[in-house]
Amino acid sequence: MHSSPPTISRSARPQRLIHEVTELPPFQTLIDEHAGDVMAVCRGAVGSSDADDCFQETFISALRAYPKLKEAGNLRGWLVTIAHRKAIDHHRARGRRPVPVAEVKEVAVEDPEPGDGIWELVGALPPKQRAAVTLRYASDLPHAEIAAALGCSPEAARRSLHEGIKRLRKELA
């Protein structure tokens, strides 16, 4: 069996054959599915009282960029990344030490189910611990990626997470 030779030269190939069109779902779908997660990330990163600002900024930014989004495969990860950037903006605007989250990658793990008031406590943690706990439990990042996101060694990330959890346990006890 021989495959027949191509009848259309590469340069003459119609645009639609080389350009994959991504069909984006209605934006409301993103809200219905991920608003809870985005709010949890915001609460963890900036605390309860400012969480709604972070939430609004996140979805307005997402809405602005949405029609040009090339890849609709991981919309939750995309939203969580924006939420982290907005949280950093928030801390900078407040003149606090920014939480250095450069890039947030996404892995599929079960969604967290925060109990009553837990995110308020997380929001009250020192910045490094807060970021480590949020990245681990709201964004489902593994230790190595938390380290990369925080720009520290995996050992330091593990320590921040450990210290944060220890403190939360004490607060909850």
Based on the shown chain and the rule CB under 8 A, indicate whether residue 156 belongs to the binding site for other proteins.
no
Give the end-to-end CA distance of the chain in Å, rounded to a whole number.
73
Based on the shown chain and the rule CB under 8 A, indicate whether residue 56 belongs to the binding site for other proteins.
yes
Selected binder of other proteins within 26, 73, 95, 115 (CB under 8 A) = 26
Backbone angles phi, psi at 111, to 5 degrees: -65, 145
Based on the shown chain and the rule CB under 8 A, indicate whether residue 74 belongs to the binding site for other proteins.
no
**What is the DSSP code string of 2-19?**
-PPPPSS-GGGS-HHHHS
Based on the shown chain and the rule CB under 8 A, indicate whether residue 7 belongs to the binding site for other proteins.
no
Selected binder of other proteins within 37, 44, 47, 55 (CB under 8 A) = 55
Selected binder of other proteins within 48, 50, 66, 105 (CB under 8 A) = 66
- E-assigned strands of 52-159? none
Selected binder of other proteins within 33, 49, 63, 93 (CB under 8 A) = 63
Site string for other proteins, 107-146 (x = CB under 8 A): ----------------------------------------
41, amino acid identity = V
Based on the shown chain and the rule CB under 8 A, indicate whether residue 73 belongs to the binding site for other proteins.
no
CB of 66 to other proteins, least distance (A): 6
Based on the shown chain and the rule CB under 8 A, indicate whether residue 36 belongs to the binding site for other proteins.
yes
Residues in the chain: 173
Please report, for residues 29, 65, 73, 86, the alpha-carbon distance to residue 25 in angstroms, rounded to integers and kept in the order given.
7, 14, 11, 24
Task: Give the whole-angstrom CA distance, residue 93 versus residue 99.
Answer: 12
Based on the shown chain and the rule CB under 8 A, indicate whether residue 52 belongs to the binding site for other proteins.
yes
146, amino acid identity = I
Q: Are 55 and 42 in contact (CB under 8 A)?
A: yes
Using CB under 8 A as the criterion, which residues of the chain lie in contact with other proteins when the complex forms? Answer: 23-28, 31, 35-36, 39, 52, 55-56, 59-60, 63-64, 66-67
